[in-house]
Amino acid sequence: MDLTAVLAIIAIALILIVVVLLVVAIVNVKAQRRAVDELTRRRSTGLGEVDEGPLFSHLAVVMNPSKHDDPELFRERVRTLADRLAGIEVHFLDTTREDPGYGQAVQALEDGADLVIAAGGDGTVREVAAALAHTGVRMAILPVGTGNLLARNLDLPLDDLEKALRVALLGRDSLVDMGWMRIGDGEDALENAEKRAFLVIAGVGADAEVIGATDAKMKRRIGWPAYVVAGLNKITGRAFEVSVSLPSGRQADMEARTVLIGNVGRLPGGITLMPDAVSDNHRLDVLVLSWRGAAGLSQIIARLVRPAVNPRPQLSTMEQALTTSVRLVTSKPQPVQLDGDTEGRATHLLAEVDPGALMMRTPARPEDRASDDEAARIGPHVSGSDPVETQTQQGAAEKS
């Protein structure tokens, strides 16, 4: 090999070495920038071990005392943990039968709270959220009720008070959507109706019927399975006619046993009823279900487990849409529920999503997430070309 070839090889090698060194330098610079950004983020959100004093100066806890066997013991535990975790004093405001949380949350805002925690079930959470929407004041949840559906969908710790309070004080901020519903017995009543908040699922028909029939004592004793017991008596009810209208102008008349409008879709037991209902997608998932008798209901359940199932004869229908709002008109007044609280009966309903309405505290560390959400998801996945509205083709059952 002559000298020229050797020099050429050496030159190429040197060029490769320089390129490698440049790549390594760029990677290191980017890594350092990410580290600085992460440190800045942790300083601004209170995450990690950076000690710059408490992130919050006024912590208010809106508490439903009826959910506790010993309310004072609960208060003392929260005070002790809050002092240890963040060195912060806690101000408690108890809900009442007449005011289940909204007024207390408003009072907390007037008192200057910069973090308001709802310590109760989904009903308490809903009332507090209605008061905090678009205020910019952070909200957190200490799950205490039966279903705790919003907490489950946000992966919050369900049975560990210290972990739940750690998320509230040292977690991260997440923008969460909520829904608003107006109900009435006609168009005029609907237009003049007050908006009512929901964060989990609003329902019209059989599901609201089941919730209304659930025994409160049994619910407190055995938890969410009490709804199953009540539902056994409501399987064979009659369907009702409903007109469903979407913002695009699409309108459909159909039979239904229940209409569900979901902001989130996971239920207890690892069941995902509405896979497309998530807390930050700025959409509501609408599910219209109808069935005839126990056999028809079993078909619904089978299709939720395996969407490809097409049973014969068809004794059920299932229609689904992802949308920003939905208007329902029923042939007869139907029971209505919002996040498990009954809201009377109505023939006209309008539900709308409110994107990013809440600044919610959610887990920043994997170990602070709920431990019971690893069960298999159950439910059909809906996809479509229109990001605003999609509707499934499954469930176009033959009417006989």
Residues 183 and 168 in one domain: no
Round to whole Å and give the CA distance between 156 and 162: 12
Considering 129, 161, 176, which residue would you say is the last residue of a domain?
176
| Residue 282 backbone class (left: φ over 0; alpha: ψ -120 to 50; beta: rest) | left
Relative orientation angle of helices 102-110 and 122-132, to the nearest 10 degrees: 40
Residues 338 and 259 in one domain: yes
The per-residue pLDDT for 296 is: 74
Domain that holds residue 141: 59-176
CB 126 within 8 A of CB 100: no
Residues 171 and 186 in one domain: no
pTM here is 0.76
Residues 214 and 153 in one domain: no
Where b means 16+ CB within 10 Å and e means fewer, 149-179 reads: bbbbbbbbbbeebebbbbbbbbbbebebbbb
Give the number of domains in the chain. 2
Instruction: Provide DSSP, 47-85.
Output: -TT--SS-S-S-EEEEE-GGG-SSHHHHHHHHHHHHHHH
Residues 287 and 331 in one domain: yes
The per-residue pLDDT for 375 is: 30
Report which of 367, 357, 361, 359 is spatially closest to residue 165, judged by C-alpha positions. Answer: 361
Considering 176, 203, 230, which residue would you say is the last residue of a domain?
176
Residues 115 and 196 in one domain: no
Residues 124 and 220 in one domain: no
The per-residue pLDDT for 6 is: 44
| Tens of each residue's pLDDT in the chain, 400 residues | 554 544 555 555 555 555 555 555 555 545 555 544 444 444 443 333 333 345 899 999 999 999 888 999 999 999 999 999 999 999 999 999 999 999 999 999 999 999 999 999 999 999 999 999 999 999 999 999 778 999 999 999 999 999 999 999 999 999 999 999 999 999 999 999 999 999 999 999 998 988 876 655 555 554 555 555 445 555 667 899 999 999 999 999 999 999 999 999 988 777 788 989 999 999 999 999 988 777 777 777 776 666 666 777 676 778 999 999 999 999 999 999 999 899 999 999 999 999 999 999 999 877 777 654 333 332 333 333 333 344 443 333 333 3
Instruction: Say which residues have a Cβ less than 8 Å from residue 187's Cβ, sequence separation at least 6.
Output: 348
Q: What angle do CA 245, 248, 249 make, to 5 degrees?
A: 50
Residues 163 and 191 in one domain: no
* 334: enclosing H helix or E strand: strand 325-338
Residues 102 and 232 in one domain: no
The per-residue pLDDT for 238 is: 84
Give a yes or no: residue 72 inside a domain. yes
CB 358 within 8 A of CB 117: no
* 127: enclosing H helix or E strand: helix 122-132
The long-range contacts involving 262-265, CB below 8 angstroms and separated by at least 24 positions, are 262/200, 262/201, 262/286, 262/287, 263/177, 263/178, 263/179, 263/198, 263/199, 263/200, 263/201, 263/353, 264/149, 264/150, 264/153, 264/199, 264/200, 264/201, 265/153, 265/201, 265/379
Give a yes or no: residue 51 inside a domain. no
The per-residue pLDDT for 111 is: 98
Considering 142, 176, 210, which residue would you say is the last residue of a domain?
176
Residues 344 and 233 in one domain: yes
Type of residue found at 264: V
The per-residue pLDDT for 156 is: 96
